[in-house]
Chains A and B, each alone.
Chain A
Amino acid sequence: MESDVLACEVHKTLDAFTLDVGFEAAGVTALFGPSGSGKTSLINMIAGLMTPDAGRIVLDGDMLFDAARRVNVKPWKRRIGTVFQEGRLFPHLSVKHNLDYGRWMSGLPADAKAFAHAVELLDIGHLIGRRPGKLSGGERQRIAVGRALLMKPRLLLLDEPLASLDAARKAEILPYLERLRDDAGVPMIYVSHDAGEVARIATHVVRLEDGRVAASGGVEVLKSS
Protein backbone atom coordinates (compact mmCIF):
# COMPACT_ATOMS: atom_id res chain seq x y z
CA MET A 1 0.00 0.00 0.00
CA GLU A 2 1.25 3.50 -0.91
CA SER A 3 2.17 5.89 1.84
CA ASP A 4 -0.36 8.51 2.80
CA VAL A 5 -0.30 11.73 0.83
CA LEU A 6 -2.80 13.71 2.84
CA ALA A 7 -3.49 13.71 6.54
CA CYS A 8 -6.56 15.66 7.50
CA GLU A 9 -8.05 16.17 10.92
CA VAL A 10 -10.53 19.01 11.16
CA HIS A 11 -13.28 20.35 13.29
CA LYS A 12 -15.81 22.93 12.17
CA THR A 13 -19.18 24.09 13.44
CA LEU A 14 -21.50 25.32 10.70
CA ASP A 15 -24.84 26.65 11.95
CA ALA A 16 -26.59 23.52 13.22
CA PHE A 17 -24.03 21.13 11.77
CA THR A 18 -20.79 19.94 13.28
CA LEU A 19 -18.03 18.46 11.20
CA ASP A 20 -15.49 16.39 13.08
CA VAL A 21 -13.40 14.34 10.72
CA GLY A 22 -10.02 12.72 10.66
CA PHE A 23 -8.71 10.65 7.77
CA GLU A 24 -5.64 9.84 5.70
CA ALA A 25 -5.65 9.66 1.93
CA ALA A 26 -3.49 7.95 -0.67
CA GLY A 27 -4.01 6.85 -4.27
CA VAL A 28 -7.62 7.54 -5.06
CA THR A 29 -9.53 8.06 -1.86
CA ALA A 30 -13.28 8.42 -2.02
CA LEU A 31 -15.17 10.54 0.46
CA PHE A 32 -18.43 8.69 0.34
CA GLY A 33 -21.70 9.53 2.05
CA PRO A 34 -25.18 10.99 1.66
CA SER A 35 -25.66 14.67 0.90
CA GLY A 36 -25.38 16.71 4.07
CA SER A 37 -22.70 14.45 5.51
CA GLY A 38 -20.08 17.19 5.15
CA LYS A 39 -18.24 16.04 2.03
CA THR A 40 -18.21 19.36 0.20
CA SER A 41 -17.25 21.35 3.33
CA LEU A 42 -14.34 18.97 3.75
CA ILE A 43 -13.23 19.52 0.16
CA ASN A 44 -13.45 23.29 0.61
CA MET A 45 -11.26 23.05 3.70
CA ILE A 46 -8.63 20.99 1.91
CA ALA A 47 -8.69 23.44 -1.03
CA GLY A 48 -8.35 26.35 1.42
CA LEU A 49 -11.72 27.93 0.57
CA MET A 50 -13.07 27.31 4.07
CA THR A 51 -11.19 27.63 7.34
CA PRO A 52 -11.64 24.89 9.95
CA ASP A 53 -12.14 25.91 13.58
CA ALA A 54 -9.51 23.47 14.73
CA GLY A 55 -7.28 20.71 13.47
CA ARG A 56 -4.56 20.28 10.89
CA ILE A 57 -4.17 19.42 7.23
CA VAL A 58 -0.86 18.07 6.00
CA LEU A 59 -0.05 17.37 2.34
CA ASP A 60 3.15 15.49 1.48
CA GLY A 61 4.65 16.56 4.80
CA ASP A 62 3.78 20.23 4.16
CA MET A 63 1.58 21.85 6.76
CA LEU A 64 -1.33 23.49 4.91
CA PHE A 65 -3.37 24.23 7.98
CA ASP A 66 -2.65 24.03 11.65
CA ALA A 67 -4.99 25.84 14.01
CA ALA A 68 -2.63 25.46 16.98
CA ARG A 69 0.30 27.03 15.11
CA ARG A 70 -1.87 29.50 13.18
CA VAL A 71 -0.75 28.12 9.84
CA ASN A 72 -3.23 28.60 7.01
CA VAL A 73 -1.75 28.43 3.51
CA LYS A 74 -3.80 30.50 1.04
CA PRO A 75 -5.76 28.53 -1.57
CA TRP A 76 -3.70 29.96 -4.45
CA LYS A 77 -0.50 28.68 -2.87
CA ARG A 78 -1.71 25.15 -2.15
CA ARG A 79 -1.38 23.76 -5.67
CA ILE A 80 -4.43 21.58 -5.18
CA GLY A 81 -6.44 21.12 -8.36
CA THR A 82 -10.16 21.14 -7.77
CA VAL A 83 -12.93 19.94 -10.06
CA PHE A 84 -16.24 21.33 -8.86
CA GLN A 85 -19.65 19.79 -9.26
CA GLU A 86 -20.77 22.53 -11.66
CA GLY A 87 -17.51 22.71 -13.60
CA ARG A 88 -17.06 26.42 -13.01
CA LEU A 89 -15.40 27.05 -16.35
CA PHE A 90 -14.63 30.71 -17.01
CA PRO A 91 -17.32 31.86 -19.47
CA HIS A 92 -15.24 34.74 -20.84
CA LEU A 93 -12.28 32.58 -21.82
CA SER A 94 -11.92 30.05 -24.63
CA VAL A 95 -11.53 26.38 -23.77
CA LYS A 96 -7.82 26.68 -24.53
CA HIS A 97 -7.41 29.60 -22.15
CA ASN A 98 -9.45 27.81 -19.49
CA LEU A 99 -7.05 24.88 -19.77
CA ASP A 100 -4.02 27.19 -19.60
CA TYR A 101 -5.36 29.28 -16.72
CA GLY A 102 -3.93 27.24 -13.85
CA ARG A 103 -0.52 27.00 -15.49
CA TRP A 104 -0.37 30.79 -16.01
CA MET A 105 -1.51 31.63 -12.53
CA SER A 106 0.80 29.08 -10.93
CA GLY A 107 3.69 30.58 -12.88
CA LEU A 108 4.58 27.37 -14.71
CA PRO A 109 6.30 27.39 -18.10
CA ALA A 110 4.38 26.23 -21.17
CA ASP A 111 4.46 22.46 -21.50
CA ALA A 112 3.18 21.40 -24.92
CA LYS A 113 3.69 17.74 -24.10
CA ALA A 114 1.59 17.86 -20.94
CA PHE A 115 -1.06 19.87 -22.76
CA ALA A 116 -1.24 17.42 -25.65
CA HIS A 117 -1.33 14.53 -23.24
CA ALA A 118 -4.21 15.94 -21.20
CA VAL A 119 -6.12 16.80 -24.37
CA GLU A 120 -5.68 13.27 -25.64
CA LEU A 121 -6.46 11.66 -22.28
CA LEU A 122 -9.74 13.55 -21.97
CA ASP A 123 -10.49 13.60 -25.72
CA ILE A 124 -11.15 17.34 -25.84
CA GLY A 125 -9.06 18.27 -28.89
CA HIS A 126 -12.13 19.21 -30.95
CA LEU A 127 -13.27 21.67 -28.26
CA ILE A 128 -10.07 23.69 -27.88
CA GLY A 129 -11.09 26.72 -29.96
CA ARG A 130 -14.60 26.97 -28.56
CA ARG A 131 -16.08 28.87 -25.65
CA PRO A 132 -17.61 27.10 -22.65
CA GLY A 133 -21.07 28.67 -23.14
CA LYS A 134 -22.52 26.05 -25.46
CA LEU A 135 -20.71 22.89 -24.40
CA SER A 136 -22.59 19.90 -23.02
CA GLY A 137 -22.35 19.04 -19.32
CA GLY A 138 -20.03 16.12 -20.04
CA GLU A 139 -17.73 18.22 -22.20
CA ARG A 140 -17.58 20.92 -19.55
CA GLN A 141 -16.59 18.44 -16.85
CA ARG A 142 -13.85 16.93 -19.00
CA ILE A 143 -12.43 20.42 -19.55
CA ALA A 144 -12.70 21.18 -15.84
CA VAL A 145 -10.69 18.01 -15.14
CA GLY A 146 -8.12 19.02 -17.76
CA ARG A 147 -7.88 22.52 -16.32
CA ALA A 148 -7.17 21.18 -12.83
CA LEU A 149 -4.72 18.59 -14.17
CA LEU A 150 -2.68 21.10 -16.21
CA MET A 151 -1.78 23.18 -13.17
CA LYS A 152 0.28 20.10 -12.22
CA PRO A 153 -1.39 19.78 -8.84
CA ARG A 154 0.03 17.90 -5.88
CA LEU A 155 -3.46 16.58 -5.24
CA LEU A 156 -6.64 16.53 -7.29
CA LEU A 157 -9.98 17.08 -5.59
CA LEU A 158 -13.06 15.97 -7.48
CA ASP A 159 -16.24 17.17 -5.82
CA GLU A 160 -19.14 15.11 -7.20
CA PRO A 161 -17.92 15.71 -10.74
CA LEU A 162 -20.71 13.60 -12.20
CA ALA A 163 -23.60 14.67 -9.97
CA SER A 164 -25.01 17.21 -12.40
CA LEU A 165 -25.02 14.73 -15.31
CA ASP A 166 -27.63 12.19 -16.37
CA ALA A 167 -26.93 8.45 -16.36
CA ALA A 168 -25.82 8.33 -20.00
CA ARG A 169 -23.39 11.21 -19.53
CA LYS A 170 -22.03 9.63 -16.35
CA ALA A 171 -21.31 6.44 -18.24
CA GLU A 172 -19.57 8.57 -20.87
CA ILE A 173 -17.29 10.35 -18.38
CA LEU A 174 -16.40 7.49 -16.02
CA PRO A 175 -13.93 5.84 -18.42
CA TYR A 176 -12.04 9.15 -18.67
CA LEU A 177 -11.77 9.34 -14.90
CA GLU A 178 -10.51 5.75 -14.80
CA ARG A 179 -7.87 6.62 -17.41
CA LEU A 180 -6.95 9.65 -15.36
CA ARG A 181 -6.48 7.47 -12.27
CA ASP A 182 -4.39 4.86 -14.10
CA ASP A 183 -2.37 7.31 -16.15
CA ALA A 184 -1.82 10.71 -14.54
CA GLY A 185 -0.23 9.53 -11.32
CA VAL A 186 -1.78 12.37 -9.32
CA PRO A 187 -3.29 11.43 -5.98
CA MET A 188 -7.00 12.12 -5.95
CA ILE A 189 -9.82 12.65 -3.51
CA TYR A 190 -13.08 11.73 -5.09
CA VAL A 191 -16.30 12.91 -3.47
CA SER A 192 -19.50 11.08 -4.28
CA HIS A 193 -22.74 9.75 -2.84
CA ASP A 194 -22.93 7.07 -5.54
CA ALA A 195 -21.52 3.68 -4.43
CA GLY A 196 -21.30 2.40 -8.02
CA GLU A 197 -19.16 5.32 -9.09
CA VAL A 198 -16.92 5.03 -6.04
CA ALA A 199 -16.43 1.29 -6.55
CA ARG A 200 -15.16 1.94 -10.08
CA ILE A 201 -12.81 4.80 -9.27
CA ALA A 202 -11.53 4.59 -5.73
CA THR A 203 -8.83 2.51 -4.07
CA HIS A 204 -9.64 3.72 -0.56
CA VAL A 205 -12.97 4.74 0.89
CA VAL A 206 -13.83 7.03 3.78
CA ARG A 207 -17.52 6.80 4.60
CA LEU A 208 -18.98 9.95 6.15
CA GLU A 209 -22.18 10.27 8.10
CA ASP A 210 -23.46 13.41 9.84
CA GLY A 211 -20.08 15.08 9.79
CA ARG A 212 -18.19 12.07 11.19
CA VAL A 213 -16.20 9.22 9.74
CA ALA A 214 -18.44 6.15 9.99
CA ALA A 215 -15.93 3.74 8.45
CA SER A 216 -12.79 3.73 6.35
CA GLY A 217 -10.70 1.21 4.49
CA GLY A 218 -10.86 -0.45 1.07
CA VAL A 219 -13.90 -0.60 -1.21
CA GLU A 220 -15.46 -3.20 1.13
CA VAL A 221 -16.50 -0.21 3.25
CA LEU A 222 -19.14 0.50 0.63
CA LYS A 223 -20.96 -2.76 1.31
CA SER A 224 -21.43 -2.08 5.00
CA SER A 225 -23.46 1.06 4.30
Chain B
Amino acid sequence: MFDLSPDEWTAVALSLRIASVATLVSLPFGIAIAYVLARKRFWGKSLLDALIYLPLVLPPVVTGYLLLITLGRRAPVGAFLADHFGIVLSFRWTGAVVSCGVMAFPLLVRAIRLSIEAIDRRLEEAGMTLGADPFWTFVSITLPLTLPGIIAGMMLAFARALGEFGATITFVSNIPGETQTISAAIYTLTQVPGGDAAALHLVIVAVLISFAALFASEWLARRAAARLHGE
Protein backbone atom coordinates (compact mmCIF):
# COMPACT_ATOMS: atom_id res chain seq x y z
CA MET B 1 0.00 0.00 0.00
CA PHE B 2 2.70 2.44 1.01
CA ASP B 3 6.18 2.18 2.36
CA LEU B 4 7.05 3.03 5.91
CA SER B 5 10.67 3.64 6.71
CA PRO B 6 12.24 1.46 9.43
CA ASP B 7 12.09 4.42 11.81
CA GLU B 8 8.39 4.85 11.16
CA TRP B 9 7.77 1.15 11.70
CA THR B 10 9.65 1.41 14.98
CA ALA B 11 7.37 4.21 16.12
CA VAL B 12 4.25 2.23 15.13
CA ALA B 13 5.41 -0.96 16.84
CA LEU B 14 6.43 0.96 19.93
CA SER B 15 3.07 2.72 20.11
CA LEU B 16 1.21 -0.58 19.85
CA ARG B 17 3.42 -2.16 22.49
CA ILE B 18 3.10 0.75 24.91
CA ALA B 19 -0.68 1.04 24.49
CA SER B 20 -1.23 -2.74 24.82
CA VAL B 21 0.98 -3.13 27.88
CA ALA B 22 -0.51 -0.02 29.50
CA THR B 23 -4.05 -1.36 28.96
CA LEU B 24 -3.30 -4.89 30.17
CA VAL B 25 -1.27 -3.85 33.21
CA SER B 26 -3.87 -1.32 34.36
CA LEU B 27 -6.79 -3.72 33.83
CA PRO B 28 -6.62 -5.62 37.16
CA PHE B 29 -6.19 -2.33 39.05
CA GLY B 30 -9.02 -0.80 37.02
CA ILE B 31 -11.37 -3.67 37.88
CA ALA B 32 -10.42 -3.52 41.57
CA ILE B 33 -10.85 0.27 41.83
CA ALA B 34 -14.09 0.21 39.83
CA TYR B 35 -15.47 -2.50 42.13
CA VAL B 36 -14.51 -0.58 45.25
CA LEU B 37 -16.00 2.66 43.93
CA ALA B 38 -19.20 0.94 42.76
CA ARG B 39 -19.81 -1.17 45.86
CA LYS B 40 -17.98 -0.01 48.96
CA ARG B 41 -18.65 2.90 51.23
CA PHE B 42 -15.65 4.18 53.13
CA TRP B 43 -14.06 7.33 54.44
CA GLY B 44 -12.21 9.21 51.70
CA LYS B 45 -14.12 7.63 48.85
CA SER B 46 -14.81 10.94 47.11
CA LEU B 47 -11.12 11.77 47.43
CA LEU B 48 -10.14 8.51 45.73
CA ASP B 49 -12.79 9.16 43.10
CA ALA B 50 -11.38 12.63 42.41
CA LEU B 51 -7.81 11.34 42.32
CA ILE B 52 -8.67 8.68 39.73
CA TYR B 53 -10.42 11.20 37.48
CA LEU B 54 -7.76 13.88 37.89
CA PRO B 55 -5.80 12.97 34.71
CA LEU B 56 -9.00 13.55 32.74
CA VAL B 57 -9.22 17.20 33.77
CA LEU B 58 -5.58 18.15 34.31
CA PRO B 59 -3.56 19.36 31.33
CA PRO B 60 -1.58 16.25 30.21
CA VAL B 61 1.66 18.19 30.49
CA VAL B 62 0.90 18.79 34.16
CA THR B 63 0.27 15.08 34.71
CA GLY B 64 3.54 14.31 32.92
CA TYR B 65 5.41 16.80 35.06
CA LEU B 66 3.92 15.36 38.24
CA LEU B 67 5.08 11.91 37.13
CA LEU B 68 8.54 13.33 36.46
CA ILE B 69 8.89 14.82 39.91
CA THR B 70 7.67 11.65 41.64
CA LEU B 71 8.95 8.83 39.42
CA GLY B 72 12.00 10.48 37.85
CA ARG B 73 15.44 8.95 38.44
CA ARG B 74 16.25 11.37 41.27
CA ALA B 75 12.71 11.83 42.53
CA PRO B 76 11.76 10.13 45.82
CA VAL B 77 9.63 7.27 44.48
CA GLY B 78 11.70 6.90 41.30
CA ALA B 79 14.96 6.67 43.25
CA PHE B 80 13.44 4.10 45.60
CA LEU B 81 12.25 1.93 42.69
CA ALA B 82 15.64 2.21 40.99
CA ASP B 83 17.70 1.45 44.10
CA HIS B 84 15.62 -1.42 45.47
CA PHE B 85 14.08 -3.03 42.41
CA GLY B 86 16.23 -1.78 39.57
CA ILE B 87 13.18 -0.28 37.91
CA VAL B 88 13.94 2.91 36.00
CA LEU B 89 11.00 4.58 34.33
CA SER B 90 12.23 7.98 33.19
CA PHE B 91 13.25 8.11 29.53
CA ARG B 92 12.34 4.44 29.05
CA TRP B 93 9.45 2.86 27.19
CA THR B 94 8.22 1.48 30.52
CA GLY B 95 7.84 5.09 31.66
CA ALA B 96 5.68 5.71 28.60
CA VAL B 97 3.57 2.74 29.70
CA VAL B 98 3.11 4.43 33.08
CA SER B 99 2.15 7.82 31.66
CA CYS B 100 -0.21 6.26 29.08
CA GLY B 101 -1.70 4.01 31.75
CA VAL B 102 -2.30 6.92 34.12
CA MET B 103 -3.92 9.02 31.38
CA ALA B 104 -6.14 6.12 30.26
CA PHE B 105 -7.05 4.92 33.76
CA PRO B 106 -10.10 7.17 34.35
CA LEU B 107 -11.72 5.94 31.14
CA LEU B 108 -11.04 2.31 32.03
CA VAL B 109 -12.40 2.70 35.56
CA ARG B 110 -15.46 4.63 34.47
CA ALA B 111 -16.61 2.08 31.89
CA ILE B 112 -16.13 -0.86 34.26
CA ARG B 113 -17.73 0.96 37.18
CA LEU B 114 -20.89 1.76 35.18
CA SER B 115 -21.09 -1.87 34.18
CA ILE B 116 -20.76 -3.10 37.77
CA GLU B 117 -23.37 -0.60 38.96
CA ALA B 118 -25.81 -1.93 36.35
CA ILE B 119 -25.61 -5.51 37.68
CA ASP B 120 -28.73 -6.85 39.36
CA ARG B 121 -27.36 -7.63 42.81
CA ARG B 122 -30.19 -10.05 43.44
CA LEU B 123 -28.35 -12.42 41.08
CA GLU B 124 -25.37 -12.34 43.43
CA GLU B 125 -27.68 -13.06 46.38
CA ALA B 126 -29.09 -16.01 44.47
CA GLY B 127 -25.53 -17.24 43.95
CA MET B 128 -24.83 -16.99 47.67
CA THR B 129 -27.89 -19.05 48.57
CA LEU B 130 -26.57 -21.67 46.13
CA GLY B 131 -23.33 -21.96 48.07
CA ALA B 132 -21.04 -19.39 46.40
CA ASP B 133 -18.87 -17.47 48.86
CA PRO B 134 -18.02 -13.82 48.05
CA PHE B 135 -14.93 -14.76 46.05
CA TRP B 136 -16.76 -17.26 43.85
CA THR B 137 -19.75 -14.95 43.57
CA PHE B 138 -17.41 -12.32 42.15
CA VAL B 139 -15.68 -14.73 39.77
CA SER B 140 -18.75 -16.60 38.55
CA ILE B 141 -21.38 -13.85 38.50
CA THR B 142 -20.07 -10.30 38.94
CA LEU B 143 -17.09 -10.55 36.59
CA PRO B 144 -18.88 -12.22 33.63
CA LEU B 145 -21.73 -9.72 33.91
CA THR B 146 -19.18 -6.88 33.88
CA LEU B 147 -17.54 -8.15 30.68
CA PRO B 148 -19.20 -5.67 28.27
CA GLY B 149 -17.94 -2.81 30.44
CA ILE B 150 -14.48 -4.35 30.65
CA ILE B 151 -14.28 -4.60 26.87
CA ALA B 152 -15.51 -1.04 26.38
CA GLY B 153 -13.10 0.23 29.04
CA MET B 154 -10.12 -1.59 27.51
CA MET B 155 -10.95 -0.18 24.09
CA LEU B 156 -11.20 3.37 25.42
CA ALA B 157 -8.01 2.94 27.43
CA PHE B 158 -6.13 1.51 24.45
CA ALA B 159 -7.25 4.34 22.19
CA ARG B 160 -6.37 6.94 24.81
CA ALA B 161 -2.97 5.34 25.40
CA LEU B 162 -2.28 5.23 21.68
CA GLY B 163 -3.02 8.91 21.33
CA GLU B 164 -1.25 10.03 24.49
CA PHE B 165 1.21 12.82 23.82
CA GLY B 166 1.53 15.53 26.43
CA ALA B 167 2.14 13.50 29.56
CA THR B 168 4.39 11.03 27.78
CA ILE B 169 6.65 13.58 26.09
CA THR B 170 6.96 15.49 29.37
CA PHE B 171 7.78 12.41 31.45
CA VAL B 172 9.93 10.29 29.12
CA SER B 173 10.76 12.73 26.33
CA ASN B 174 10.83 11.87 22.62
CA ILE B 175 13.58 9.32 22.03
CA PRO B 176 13.36 7.38 18.74
CA GLY B 177 13.19 3.65 19.39
CA GLU B 178 12.60 4.07 23.11
CA THR B 179 9.81 6.54 23.83
CA GLN B 180 8.93 8.00 20.42
CA THR B 181 5.36 6.90 19.76
CA ILE B 182 3.36 7.61 16.60
CA SER B 183 2.09 10.89 18.02
CA ALA B 184 5.55 12.04 19.04
CA ALA B 185 7.00 10.94 15.69
CA ILE B 186 4.34 12.90 13.78
CA TYR B 187 5.05 15.94 15.91
CA THR B 188 8.78 15.63 15.22
CA LEU B 189 8.23 15.17 11.48
CA THR B 190 6.09 18.28 11.27
CA GLN B 191 8.94 20.25 12.81
CA VAL B 192 11.51 19.35 10.14
CA PRO B 193 11.53 20.49 6.50
CA GLY B 194 10.30 17.78 4.09
CA GLY B 195 8.78 15.66 6.83
CA ASP B 196 5.22 16.06 5.53
CA ALA B 197 5.07 12.83 3.51
CA ALA B 198 6.35 10.69 6.35
CA ALA B 199 4.01 12.43 8.78
CA LEU B 200 1.09 11.64 6.48
CA HIS B 201 2.10 7.96 6.41
CA LEU B 202 1.96 7.82 10.18
CA VAL B 203 -1.33 9.70 10.26
CA ILE B 204 -2.86 7.07 7.98
CA VAL B 205 -1.47 4.26 10.14
CA ALA B 206 -2.89 5.92 13.27
CA VAL B 207 -6.31 6.21 11.64
CA LEU B 208 -6.22 2.55 10.56
CA ILE B 209 -5.20 1.30 14.00
CA SER B 210 -7.92 3.35 15.68
CA PHE B 211 -10.59 2.03 13.32
CA ALA B 212 -9.40 -1.55 13.77
CA ALA B 213 -9.53 -1.18 17.55
CA LEU B 214 -12.97 0.38 17.37
CA PHE B 215 -14.40 -2.38 15.15
CA ALA B 216 -12.79 -5.13 17.21
CA SER B 217 -14.25 -3.77 20.42
CA GLU B 218 -17.70 -3.26 18.86
CA TRP B 219 -17.65 -6.85 17.68
CA LEU B 220 -16.50 -8.19 21.04
CA ALA B 221 -19.02 -6.09 22.94
CA ARG B 222 -21.86 -7.31 20.71
CA ARG B 223 -20.84 -10.90 21.26
CA ALA B 224 -20.61 -10.38 25.00
CA ALA B 225 -24.03 -8.70 25.09
CA ALA B 226 -25.55 -11.48 22.98
CA ARG B 227 -24.18 -14.05 25.39
CA LEU B 228 -25.76 -12.21 28.29
CA HIS B 229 -29.19 -11.63 26.83
CA GLY B 230 -29.80 -13.99 23.95
CA GLU B 231 -30.05 -17.68 23.42
Interface residues of A (CB under 8 A from B): 47-49, 74-82, 84, 86, 88, 90-92, 101-102, 104-107, 130-131, 133-134, 147-148, 151
Taking a contact as CB atoms under 8 Å apart, the answer to whether A90 and B141 are in contact is yes
Q: A90-B141, A151-B130, A151-B131 are in contact. Are A84 and B122 (CB under 8 A)?
A: yes
A105 to B127 CA separation, bound complex (whole angstroms):
9
- C-alpha gap A106/B127 in the complex (Å): 11
Q: Known pairs A49-B128, A49-B129, A90-B123. 14 more at Cβ < 8 A?
A: A74-B128, A75-B129, A76-B128, A76-B137, A78-B129, A84-B126, A88-B126, A92-B144, A92-B147, A101-B132, A102-B131, A105-B136, A133-B231, A151-B130
A131 to chain B, nearest CB (A): 5
Surface stretch bound by A, among B30-38, B59-67, B99-107, B222-230: B222-230
Q: Which residues of the partner chain B approach A107 to less than 8 Å between Cβ atoms?
A: 131
Contacts A84-B122, A86-B122, A105-B136; A92 near B130 (Cβ below 8 A): no
Contact status A92-B122, CB under 8 Å: no
Whether A91 pairs with B129 at a CB distance below 8 angstroms is no
The residue in chain A whose Cβ has the minimal distance to the Cβ of B130 is A102
Q: In the docked arrangement, what's the CA distance between A107 and B133, Å?
A: 11
B130 lies within 8 A of A105 (CB)? yes
Output the least CB separation between B122 and chain A (Å): 6
B49 within 8 A of A: no
13 A-B contacts (beta carbon < 8 Å): A76-B128, A79-B131, A80-B129, A82-B126, A82-B129, A88-B126, A91-B228, A101-B132, A102-B131, A104-B131, A130-B231, A133-B229, A147-B130
Specify which chain A residues have a CB less than 8 angstroms from the CB of B120 in the assembled complex. 88
B interface list, Cβ under 8 A from A: 120, 122-123, 125-133, 136-137, 140-141, 144-145, 147, 227-231
What residues of B have a CB within 8 angstroms of the CB of A81 in the complex?
A: 129-130
- 5 smallest CB-CB distances across A and B, nearest first, come from A106-B131, A105-B131, A102-B130, A88-B126, A105-B132
With a 10 A CB-CB cut-off, give which of A79, A82, A92, A148 has the most chain B CB atoms. A92
| Complex contacts, B144 vs chain A, CB 8 Å | 92
CA–CA, A104 and B133, complex, Å: 12
How far is it, in angstroms, between the C-alpha of A185 and the C-alpha of B126 when the chains are bound?
A: 22
Q: Find out whether the CB atom of A49 lies under 8 angstroms from the CB atom of B125.
A: yes
Q: Given the complex of chains A and B, what is the CA–CA distance between A101 and B129 in angstroms?
A: 11
Chain B residue nearest to A91 in the complex (CB): B228
Q: How far is the CB of A5 from chain B (nearest CB, A)?
A: 17
- From A48, A133, A147, name the one whose CB has the most chain B CB atoms within 10 angstroms: A133
Q: Which residues of A contact B145 (CB under 8 A)?
A: 91-92
**Alpha-carbon separation in the docked complex, A140 to B137 (Å):** 21
Chain B residues with CB under 8 A of A49? 125, 128-129
What is the CA–CA distance of A106 and B129 in the complex, to the nearest angstrom?
10
Contact check, A92 vs B227: say whether CB atoms are below 8 A apart.
Answer: yes
A133 with B230, Cβ < 8 A, contacts A86-B122, A90-B123, A105-B136 known: yes
| B132, closest chain A residue (CB) | A105
**Shortest Cβ gap from A97 to chain B (Å):** 10
Chain B residues near A106: list those with CB within 8 A: 130-131
User: Smallest distance from the beta carbon of B73 to chain A beta carbons, Å?
Assistant: 47
State in angstroms the CA–CA spacing of A116 and B129 once bound together: 22
Known: A105-B130, A151-B131. A88 touches B228 (CB 8 A): no
Residue of A nearest to B141 (CB): A90
